[in-house]
Amino acid sequence: MPSADEDGRRGIDGARRIYLDHAATTPVDPDVMAAMLPYLSAHAGNASSLYLEGREARAALDDAREDVAAVLACDAAEVVFTGSGSEAANLAIRGVAWRAHDEGRRHLVTSAVEHHAVLHTVQQLERRHGFAATYLPVGADGRVDPADVLAAVRDDTALVSVMYANNEVGTVQPVAEIAAALADHPALVHTDAVQAAGSLSLATPELDVDLLSLTAHKVYGPKGVGALYVRRGVRVAPQIVGGSQERNRRAGTENVAGAVGFAAALTRADAERAAGNAANARLSGILIDGLTGLPQVRLTGPAERRLPNSASFVIEGVDSEALLLRLDAAGIAASSGSACTSASLEPSHVLLAMGIPADIARSSLRLTTGRSNTDAHMRHAVDIIAEAVAQLRRKTDAAAAVSMA
């Protein structure tokens, strides 16, 4: 195999590495780290304390909230800091569901391709707490039809939750169209925008949603901090109780350093969105052009209206796990889908919902680009993947020949 170019990142063993799993997580930006450090050391006060150190922490938290709100084009009071994107989604769904439950509205609508932070939350409410749920189908490109959403809602529908962009195949959903279609319905609208941050506009007046969940670690911020936009006037039942933090919506001592890092990362990502999208589209284009030229390899998700850093494939006749192990050994970090389900042997629920047969869905490969990548990396990655695929297919053919002998 050709050696990686000199710009390649070194892994912990000193070998050159090409990181192609930015949808799973991103490294913390050095400027973000620098912004956080004072609130982990010299200014590490509790933001709920009244003395100087507490007031300093409160001021930093308020500034971070204002900065996140600026990206969302909302009021700072509408931003709730959480411990992750999953917690933000749980707060949105459970928080609305429990408020609506007492009013007799116990129906939820979501799509079949949501992240498990949404799907598992809805399923638990359905199975254990007496809610009804409708799971919307998607087309072959993974897209939800707004007409299907409108047809699914009922008089007792409390919430519609459709993700902004899919974390496995990059499909961008028509969230604003869905919200517009429901303008005259009392159901609230939530969107999981975790994967969209840094690639799509998060301006809530444009999306017209009631709730929007985010996390920091997808935009070169720290892990362990997320946020939920809650439109003014929308009430959510807190899911973590024990204090009055976050305007009584999320108890617990505030993660000031995390919030500061989140705000710094999100602000930069949004400011550089156009340039980043152009670079990522070029990088992913090299991957798509190179890999779809191989036999029995096809792109999953739409050709258009997909996240610019997303290139996902099914490679027939090749087991995903075997391929990923070979790529890792060759210096490429990649995945077969969501990092949250990477230990599962089951085929992706997203690919199955898109109509891809289970045996082919088990041959999935997700490559997502980012700031550390170059054109040379992409060309090198295509060469390595092509060789790994050929080797695995030869191995499969040889095993089949032996079994038939």
Could you give the residue numbers annotated as active site? 340
Cα 171 to Cα 5, 167, 291, 310: the distances in Å are: 31, 8, 19, 9
Q: CA torsion sign, 67 to 71 to 77 to 83?
A: negative
Q: What is d(CA 9, CA 264) in angstroms, rounded to the nearest whole number?
A: 24
* Residue 241: partners with Cβ closer than 8 Å, 6 or more residues away: 251
Cα 2 to Cα 5, 59, 235, 365, 376: the distances in Å are: 9, 52, 57, 21, 12
**What DSSP assignment string belongs to 72-87?**
HTS-GGGEEEES-HHH
Of 337, 331, 342, nearest to 384 (Cα)? 331
Q: What is d(CA 232, CA 78) in angstroms, rounded to the nearest whole number?
A: 6
- Structural element, H or E, at residue 90: helix 85-101
